[in-house]
Amino acid sequence: MLILMSSMIMSLLMSIILMTLAIMLSEKSNKEREKMTPFECGFSPFKKARSPFSIRFFLTTLIFLIFDIEIALLLPLGILTKISSTLNLMISSLIITVILLSGLLHEWKQGVLTWV
């Protein structure tokens, strides 16, 4: 037990000594600081962080995601042909399609789909 305890204390002391030596002896240069700065999508980290962003791209992405989820609701209807009757499938697919088309017409009338 004593040997285990002394080896744990020795390893802890060695790691603390090595960490303090590494911190004290390391030199920071401008090149290392530039490497440590975040780099995203080709934007330079030295420019203004909040560059203007077109809200049209964001709205188009949201519309695409909404319609993508709504189309994913139509996919299981093909599997349900063996379980449910044809009339129920046609009615439910018609309801989903009408909801999709009414949402598309509403967005069109609001002018969301016009690209300026």
Q: pLDDT digits over 71-89, tens only?
A: 887 788 778 777 888 888 8
Q: What is the pLDDT of residue 84?
A: 81
Q: What is the pLDDT of residue 99?
A: 87
Give the range of the structural domain holding residue 60, as residue numbers without chain letter. 55-110
Q: What is the pLDDT of residue 13?
A: 94
Any domain includes 70: yes
User: Which residue has tokens 């330079």?
Assistant: 44
Q: pLDDT digits over 24-59, tens only?
A: 887 665 556 666 666 656 555 565 656 666 777 787
Burial 93-113 (b: 16+ CB within 10 A, else e): eeeeeeebeeeeeeeeeeeee
Any domain includes 29: no
Q: What is the mean pLDDT of the chain?
A: 79
CA–CA distance from 112 to each of 55, 90, 97, 105 (Å)? 11, 30, 20, 10
pTM value?
0.45
Any domain includes 11: no
Any domain includes 75: yes
Any domain includes 84: yes
Any domain includes 81: yes
* Residues 107, 111, 112, 116, Cα dihedral to 10°: 160
Q: What is the pLDDT of residue 10?
A: 93
Indicate the number of domains in the chain.
Answer: 1
Any domain includes 96: yes
Any domain includes 69: yes
Q: What is the pLDDT of residue 57?
A: 79
